[in-house]
A and B are shown apart, each in its own frame.
Chain A
Amino acid sequence: MVASTIKILAEIEGGITTFKALIRHPMETGQREDEKTGKKIPAHFILEVTVEHNGRAVFKALWGTGISANPYLSFKFRGAAVGDSIKLSWVDNKGETDSLLARIVKAD
Chain B
Amino acid sequence: MPRGSKPPWPEGAFIAHDVDTALQEILGASLNNLAPSNKIKLAIPKTAENGAIVPLTVYADLDGVVSISLLAAKNPHVLTSTYMIPKGTLPYVSTRIKMQKTAVVIAVVKANGKLYSASKRVKVAVGGCS
Contact = CB atoms under 8 A, between A and B. Distances in A.
Interface in B42-84: 52-55, 57, 72, 75-84
A78 B85 CA distance: 12
Grouping DSSP codes into helix (H, G, I), strand (E, B) and loop, the B interface class, with mixed when no group exceeds half, is mixed
A60 B14 contact: no
Interface string B89-115: 110111111110000000000000000
Contacts of A47: 9
Nearest to A60: B84
A29 B10 contact: no
Interface residues of B, number: 37
Contact of A73 (B13, B89, B95, B130): B95
Task: Classify the secondary structure of A's interface with B.
Answer: strand
Interface residues of A, number: 30
Contacts of A16: 90
A71 B95 contact: yes
21 contacts: A29-B77, A31-B129, A58-B88, A61-B81, A61-B84, A61-B95, A62-B82, A64-B14, A64-B80, A65-B129, A66-B80, A66-B129, A67-B97, A68-B98, A72-B95, A73-B93, A73-B94, A74-B94, A75-B94, A76-B90, A79-B88
